[in-house]
């Protein structure tokens, strides 16, 4: 008989800490505000900007304000329009319609070399025949900047990306991470008002990518330059951005801080795109005193959520719960605002945590994430184990079905 059957330890796992904003918080970077807490004038103002190719829209008319000094991520899957939008900001793609201003000046039809922006490409695009110093200095020399100023600015850029001492090496003599830093230094040396980054970390391995994410956050904070980055990696956006703009089918579906996007997605697409999530289908039974009661779609089970703003009685809805918000307990455990019984299908071990895949008796497939400490470590959950899954009213939220 396992420990669950004996009932020796009733609750064996609990909510894990949220990942959203963890790296940003550690770096101490927050969105800037203007006088008396008012939002500052955006450095980039986009109105009804759109792009179509042969009549097929790549970016549908959208509005976007990007705050001075922020780190904004354009996040979405392949073909969602994020790279096209970034290239329109850079001036590399001419919009089919709309208006764009950077630092108060209309740049809708301004060529890229006359915009106060610089772009760091996914391929880094370093000149193989030039040493590192010359690669970084290239743009300054083309603009006729004096030798002394070039030396000072290149050395400052090398110091910022921690590449002092590599000036005479060629790109092929550097690692992928070092080439990435050189490309960043070359983009920063011209001191743009906005730095655009197109999937800048995709070529790096996982460990180096995570290390470089923190470096980019610190560099953005030190330089004060507005960063706009395109990525398809949800964790990358969550750990780096002050704000995330989630895109789908050429539109910005939702924009907000990492915690806003994660904790309160606006619809099912965003909820499923950002991290893992569980759903229960039902209908609104009652709304009273700030709590909504949801009746399960195929049974008489009632669930409670903190609120169901915008939904009326009888409306079909989905209850959404993140895996780390759930608690696994012994079968028949009571005391939860919401609970459901089920059987563990399998457990995936990640070292510090485990992910349990559970089929509920009502038919839903749930994922529960919990730290491998305390009861979780002692009980060694395995396939076939009967459990109760519980969660509080505030840990679930309601979305349109």
- Distance CA(316)–CA(284), nearest Å, equals 7
Question: If we measure between CA atoms, which residue out of 249, 256, 339 comes closest to residue 296?
Answer: 339
Query: For residue 163, what are the contacts with CB-CB under 8 A and spacing of at least 6?
Result: 132, 178, 181, 182, 185
Could you tell me if residue 161 is left (phi over 0), alpha (psi between -120 and 50 degrees) or otherwise beta? alpha
Q: What are phi and psi of 29, to 5 degrees?
A: -100, 125
Task: Provide the residue ranges of all domains of the chain, joining segments of one domain with +.
Answer: 3-19+272-400, 22-271
- Contact (Cβ atoms closer than 8 angstroms) between residue 260 and residue 299: no
Superfamily, domain 22-271? P-loop containing nucleotide triphosphate hydrolases (3.40.50.300)
Number of Cβ within a 10 Å radius of residue 301: 17
Query: For residue 214, what are the contacts with CB-CB under 8 A and spacing of at least 6?
Result: 23, 26, 27
- Which DSSP letter does residue 37 get? G
Query: For residue 302, what are the contacts with CB-CB under 8 A and spacing of at least 6?
Result: 285, 293, 294, 295, 296
Query: For residue 35, what are the contacts with CB-CB under 8 A and spacing of at least 6?
Result: none
One pLDDT digit (tens) per residue for the chain, 401 residues:
444 444 433 333 343 333 344 344 333 333 444 445 566 679 999 999 999 999 999 999 999 999 999 999 999 999 999 999 999 999 999 999 999 999 999 999 999 989 999 988 777 788 999 999 999 999 899 888 999 999 999 999 998 888 999 999 999 999 888 888 898 899 889 889 999 999 887 767 777 788 888 888 988 998 899 999 999 999 999 999 999 999 999 999 999 999 999 999 999 999 999 989 999 999 999 998 778 999 999 998 999 999 778 888 999 999 999 999 999 998 988 999 999 999 999 999 888 889 999 999 999 999 999 888 765 555 568 899 999 999 999 999 999 98
Instruction: Tell me the whole-structure pTM to 2 decimals.
Output: 0.84
- Contact (Cβ atoms closer than 8 angstroms) between residue 313 and residue 287: yes
SS3 347: strand
- Please identify, in words, the CATH class of the domain defined by 3-19+272-400: mainly beta
């Amino acid at each position: 008989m396992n420990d669950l059957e004996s009932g020796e330890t009733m609750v064996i796992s609990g909510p894990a800490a949220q990942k959203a904003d963890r790296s940003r918080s550690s770096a101490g970077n927050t969105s800037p505000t203007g006088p008396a807490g008012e939002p500052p004038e955006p450095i980039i103002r986009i109105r009804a900007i759109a792009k179509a190719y042969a009549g097929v829209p790549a970016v549908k008319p959208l509005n976007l304000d990007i705050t001075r000094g922020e780190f904004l991520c354009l996040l979405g899957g392949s073909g969602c329009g994020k790279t096209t939008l970034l290239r329109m900001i850079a001036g590399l793609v001419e919009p089919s319609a709309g208006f764009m201003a950077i630092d108060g000046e209309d740049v809708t039809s301004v060529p890229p070399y006359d915009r106060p922006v610089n772009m760091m490409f996914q391929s880094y695009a370093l000149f193989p025949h030039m040493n590192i110093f010359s690669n970084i200095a290239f743009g300054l020399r083309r603009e006729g900047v004096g030798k002394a100023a070039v030396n000072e600015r290149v050395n400052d850029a090398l110091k910022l990306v921690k590449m002092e001492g590599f000036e005479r090496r060629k790109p092929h003599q550097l690692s992928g991470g070092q080439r990435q830093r050189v490309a960043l230094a070359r983009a920063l040396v011209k001191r743009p008002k906005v730095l655009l980054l197109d999937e800048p970390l995709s070529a790096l391995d996982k460990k180096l990518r995570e290390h470089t994410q923190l470096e980019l956050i610190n560099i953005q904070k030190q330089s004060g330059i507005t960063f706009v980055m395109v990525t398809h990696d949800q964790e990358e956006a969550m750990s780096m951005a002050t704000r995330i703009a989630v895109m789908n089918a050429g539109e910005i579906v939702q924009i907000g801080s990492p915690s806003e996007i994660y904790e309160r997605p606006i619809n099912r697409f965003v909820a499923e795109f950002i991290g893992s999530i569980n759903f229960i289908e039902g209908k609104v039974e009652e709304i009273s005193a700030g709590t909504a009661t949801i009746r399960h779609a195929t049974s008489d089970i009632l669930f409670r959520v903190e609120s169901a703003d915008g939904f009326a009685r009888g409306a079909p809805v989905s209850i959404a719960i993140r895996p780390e918000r759930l608690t696994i307990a012994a079968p028949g455990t009571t005391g939860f605002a919401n609970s459901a019984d089920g059987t563990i299908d399998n457990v995936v071990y990640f070292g510090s945590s485990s992910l349990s895949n559970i089929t509920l008796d009502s038919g839903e497939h749930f994922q529960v994430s919990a730290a491998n400490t305390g009861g979780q470590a002692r009980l060694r959950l395995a396939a076939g184990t009967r459990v109760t899954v519980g969660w509080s009213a505030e840990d679930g939220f309601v979305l349109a079905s």
